[in-house]
Chain A
Amino acid sequence: MTDATAEMVRADNVHKSFGSLEVLKGIDLVVKSGEVCCVLGPSGSGKSTFLRCVNHLEKINAGKIFVDGDLVGYHERGGKLHEMKDSEVARQRQSIGMVFQRFNLFPHMTVLQNVMEAPCRVKKENKSAVRDRAAALLDRVGLGDKIDSYPSQLSGGQQQRVAIARALAMRPKLMLFDEPTSALDPELVGEVLDVMKDLARDGMTMVVVTHEIGFAREVGDTVVFMDGGVVVEAGPPAEVIANPQQERTKAFLSKVL
């Protein structure tokens, strides 16, 4: 890990529009290395879009995003921004893991192949070493006995845990979670949150877009409340969740708690 006070993610005045619809209206955010940052907010508030901007799945229209000190998606030379080539963007993404709401496992590959794909193809690592690491990761998320199953044979919670193992196989320094439990049956939410708590304890830097207030309160180092494309309130969970200052935060929390 890098130095504990280093900034892993820094967003400066980030704007993003889809056509005439402005989704992000100036987001400022800092996530320190080793921190868990939970992003809360009503749907349509732009929190998922922001997360997708962090690994350049969406291009931002204005502002800057830095991951581990590097500008995302652009080179800055002589005060001018140059777009990165696809291959350079892909290289940046290698150190950022992402977990999606709908898992997006590759259905034509077994669980083990899903986890091995990126280290083998992208980093060209030794296959047997990757296999051992992948099996260990699957063990860690409690699926050591499912490595030869296809995703369609697993429950939603199991699929999401495979997706987490798949992202971890690239040894990322930052993990992004886009509503990882929203597509799950209520009884399966716990098993995925447990894996995420375990990751947090190990010191992984995480940005988690979620509706699980309990998780945010327990695991989050900072909680960010977003609405209408801006950060309404940010701070430790004890302040933002237990004692919100803004009216909009209060209104939202009173509905979900």
Chain B
Amino acid sequence: MTDLKQSERARPEPIKAVPVRHPGRWITIAVLIVLIAMFVHVLVTNDQFRWRFIFLEYAPGKRGVMFTEPVLEGLRGTILLTISSMAIGIVLGVVIAIMRLSDNPILRWIAFVYTWFFRAIPRLVLAVLFGNLNILWDRIGFGLPFDRQIGHLFGIDNLNTQFYSVKASDLLAGFVAGMLALGLSEGAYMAEIVRAGIQSIDPGQAEAATALGLSRGQVLRRVVLPQAMRVIVPPTGNEVIAMVKDTSLVAYVPVTFELFFQLNAIKARTFVVLPVLVAAVIWYLILCTVLMVAQFFVERHFGRGYGTTGQARQRLRDIGVEQGGRIPAEGGST
């Protein structure tokens, strides 16, 4: 038997074994089906939902509460506010994260103070505060700093060197105030996310790029940030989704150009509570679903060059385990 060559041996029958049974899964499925049936039953049979009111007609001659004109306007406001404040937040976040990791101690300190301040203040407080900041100044504009004080020294009363200015209550109110409050606050959180991303990259990457003669800016832009994006994107998706919901805080600025404010107004006018809230829930669900799909594609884009590694590494590990060997060391930059 022992001198029989491998190729001459008959290949044994493929294994046909009885698989392990999972009764727990079947019980869970049964329980879930009952719960879902109960939920659907409530949705369909309970009159309090008033689906007609939500989807078709909330008052004679008007569309359903979800699609009525002010609510759609509010939805537009919510989307605009989310996009603009996240844009401010992401740009500020990248700048502040780079400042925080800079060699320049002054920049590091500014970045630290910024993050400290804007993370400490609740967004609700910031929204109210920015709505009322125009109490401080009449007009906001560009000119010499301390112009009035300097003028006073030379005996000129009310020296005004501002060459461009706008009325503070025009600039710092409503939408702009809300956008700044949310955007500046978001910048502080994004800064920490970006910093974590940059610090997660192997220092050897920056070193290799430096050794090739790339400048500091190029190292960051071409080598470090694109790789850091893999770490930055998932928490940023979190932040965008949180921002969609936090836009409802600008009602305190006050901004009326916003989804929840508009729905609330209808609730107050018609005294119909639950259907209005259900309409809000549905809109927020739709918005977040769209964002999650977008996040999937962004993640796939920045994952290029990595996708196969994960699988390859898993394969290697499986082989290693099969052979009872050590898990192979992961090589280099991969």
Contacts and interface: CB of A to CB of B under 8 A. Distances in A.
Interface string B172-209: 00000000000000000000000000000010110111
Nearest to B313: A152
Contacts of A167: 211-212
Given A55-B211, A153-B308, A166-B212, A121 B222 contact: yes
Interface stretch (A27-35, A105-113, A125-133, A222-230): A105-113
A62 interface: no
A100 interface: yes
Contact of A152 (B204, B207, B302, B308): B308
A86 B215 contact: yes
Overall SS of chain B's interface: helix
Contacts, number: 104
Interface residues of B, number: 29
A178 to B, nearest CB: 10
B312 to A, nearest CB: 7
Interface residues of A, number: 36
Given A108-B227, A151-B334, A91 B213 contact: yes
B207 A104 contact: yes
Contact of A90 (B205, B210, B304): B210
Contacts of B212: 93-94, 117-118, 122, 166-167, 170
A107 B304 CA distance: 9
B223 interface: yes
Interface string B302-334: 101110110010000000000000000001111
Contacts of A210: none
A117 B213 CA distance: 11
B226 interface: yes
A122 B218 contact: yes
Given A86-B216, A108-B306, A117-B222, 7 more contacts: A91-B213, A102-B331, A103-B331, A107-B334, A118-B212, A170-B213, A183-B332
